[in-house]
Structure 1
Amino acid sequence: MKTTKIIYWITTSLVFLMEGVLPALTSQTEMAKEGIRHLHYPAYFGNALVVFKVLGSLALIIPFVPKRIKEWAYGGFAFDFIFASISLFAVDGVNFQSFFPLIFLAILAASYSCYHKLNAVNALAAA
């Protein structure tokens, strides 16, 4: 159980840092704006992404957020990673950068799996 908790907090912290903290700090840089333009998205789409990424990452990292909200956050990030990869494949073709979101999808999947294992153990302990 200790290993599951460690894996959960490491993977969830990585998602929090890469999807919450980093976009919040860098979303208005010229490089971030160019990334949105490069994928042929309108400028406002980048701002909307940042807002939802920060809210979703906070939902994942704060322990007392309701389970249903966490499920929506996990789902939102899964869609984000999948569609980011599809967008990169469509614009840039097959290269490492196009697979990078799928690496984070695997990290998110590990966090999600550990989250449910911890919830099952907590439910058994409460019963």
Structure 2
Amino acid sequence: MKSKKVVYWITTSVIGLMMVFSAFNYFTSIEAIEGMARLGFQPFFVKELGFFKILGVLALVIPQVPIKIKEWAYAGFGIVFISAFWAHVNAGDPVSMSSMPIIFLVLLIVSNIYLNKIKVSK
């Protein structure tokens, strides 16, 4: 049981930190907004995305949040990572940049699997 929690918290923490960092950049960095514009996203959407990333992280890391809400956060982040992958591919970005969302998607899937393992074993 303890190793399941360790895997869950490590993967969830990496996802959470990355999402909070990107959301912070969306609110404070002109370069981040310009980078998103290069991918075809409007500035208002970047702020909206940052807000929902923060809500999603809170849903994942607060233990009292119901599992159904956590599942919606996982689904939302999954959509974000898949969309980011396709946006980078369509923008002609190098493979190193395009593959990062897929790596985070794999971490997200592992986090979700281990959340379910923890909930089943209780």
In the alignment, structure 1 residue 25 sits paired with structure 2 residue 24: yes
TM-score by length of 1: 0.91
| CA distances 1:14-35 after superposition (whole Å, capped 9, x unpaired) | 1110112x13432221221111
User: 2:67 and 2:92 mapped to 1: Cα distance?
Assistant: 37
| CA distances 1:83-104 after superposition (whole Å, capped 9, x unpaired) | 1101110112552101110000
User: 2:114 and 2:92 mapped to 1: Cα distance?
Assistant: 34
User: 1:52 and 1:63 mapped to 2: Cα distance?
Assistant: 18
Aligned residue for 2:119? 119
- SS class of match (1:92): coil
Amino acid across the alignment from 2:37 = R
**Matches for 1:69-84 after TM superposition, within 5 Å:** 69-84=69-84
In the alignment, structure 1 residue 52 sits paired with structure 2 residue 52: yes
RMSD, matched Cα:
1.1
User: 2:23 and 2:38 mapped to 1: Cα distance?
Assistant: 20
Q: Paired residues, what number?
A: 121
Aligned residue for 2:88? 88
After TM superposition, the runs of 4+ consecutive aligned structure 1 residues lying more than 6 A away are: none
Change (3 A) 1:62 1:44: same
Amino acid across the alignment from 2:84 = A
Runs (5+) with no aligned partner, structure 1: 123-127
Larger radius of gyration: 1
